[in-house]
Structure 1
Amino acid sequence: MTSSTCRALAICCLLSVTSTPRADLPDLVDKIRPSIVAIGTYKKTQSPPFVFRGTGFVFGDGNQVATNAHVLPNTSGPDDPVLAVLIRSKGSEGTLRLAKIVQRIQERDLAVVRIDGPPLPALKLGDSTAVREGQSIAFTGFPIGGALGYSPVTHRGIVSAITPIGIPGGNASQLNPQLIQQLKRGAFDIFQLDATAYPGNSGSPVYEIESGTVIGVINMVFIKGSKEAAITSPSGITYAIPADHLK
Structure 2
Amino acid sequence: MSAEQQRAAHAGIRRRVLQSVCTFAALTAFPALARANLVDILPGIKPSVVAVGTYQRTRSPAFQFRGTGFVVGDGRMIATNAHVLPEAIASENMEMLVIVVPGKDQQGTVRQVSRVASERSRDLAVLRLEGGEALPALKLAARERVQEGQEIAFTGFPIGAVLGMTPVTHRGIVSAITPIGIPQGNSRDLNPALIRRLANDVFRVYQLDATAYPGNSGSPVFDPKTGEVIGVINMVFVKSTKESVLSDPSGISYAIPVEYLHRLLGNAP
How would you bin the TM-score normalised by the shorter chain? 0.7 to 0.9
Change in CA separation of 1:150 and 1:100 when aligned onto 2, cut-off 3 Å: same
Instruction: Identify which of 147, 150, 156 aligns with 2:171.
Output: 156
AA of the residue aligned to 2:123: D
**2:210 maps to which residue?**
195
Instruction: Identify which of 22, 43, 48 aligns with 1:30.
Output: 43
Higher alpha-carbon Rg: 2
Q: In the TM superposition, what whole-angstrom CA distance separates every residue of 1:179-231 from its partner, at most 9, and x where no partner exists?
A: 4423332210111111100000000000001100000000127577447xxxx
Matched, 1:57 2:70: yes
**1:46 maps to which residue?**
59
C-alpha separation between the residues in 1 aligned to 2:59 and 2:191? 33
Change in CA separation of 1:175 and 1:220 when aligned onto 2, cut-off 3 Å: farther
Q: In the TM superposition, what whole-angstrom CA distance separates every residue of 1:54-111 from its partner, at most 9, and x where no partner exists?
A: 0000010001000000000111343352201000123563010101001010000000
**Is the 1:143–1:198 contact (alpha carbons within 8 Å) kept by the matching residues of 2?**
yes
AA of the residue aligned to 1:106: R
Change in CA separation of 1:174 and 1:143 when aligned onto 2, cut-off 3 Å: farther
Q: Counterpart of 1:108 in 2: which secondary structure? A: coil
Two-structure CA RMSD over aligned residues (Å): 2.7
The structure whose residues are more often helix, as a share, is 2
Moved over 4 A (4+): 173-176, 221-227
Instruction: Identify which of 183, 192, 213 aligns with 2:198.
Output: 183
Which range is displaced more, 214-223 or 46-55? Answer: 214-223
The number of equivalent residue pairs is: 220
C-alpha separation between the residues in 1 aligned to 2:198 and 2:87? 23
Instruction: Identify which of 126, 135, 145 aligns with 1:120.
Output: 135
Q: Counterpart of 2:165 in 1: which secondary structure? A: coil
C-alpha separation between the residues in 2 aligned to 1:95 and 1:185? 42
The structure whose residues are more often strand, as a share, is 1
AA of the residue aligned to 1:149: G
Gaps of 5+ in 1: 13-20, 168-172, 228-234
Instruction: Identify which of 100, 108, 119 aligns with 2:114.
Output: 100
Q: In the TM superposition, what whole-angstrom CA distance separates every residue of 1:111-143 from its partner, at most 9, and x where no partner exists?
A: 000012211110000024010000000000000
**2:259 maps to which residue?**
244
TM-score, normalised to structure 1, is: 0.80
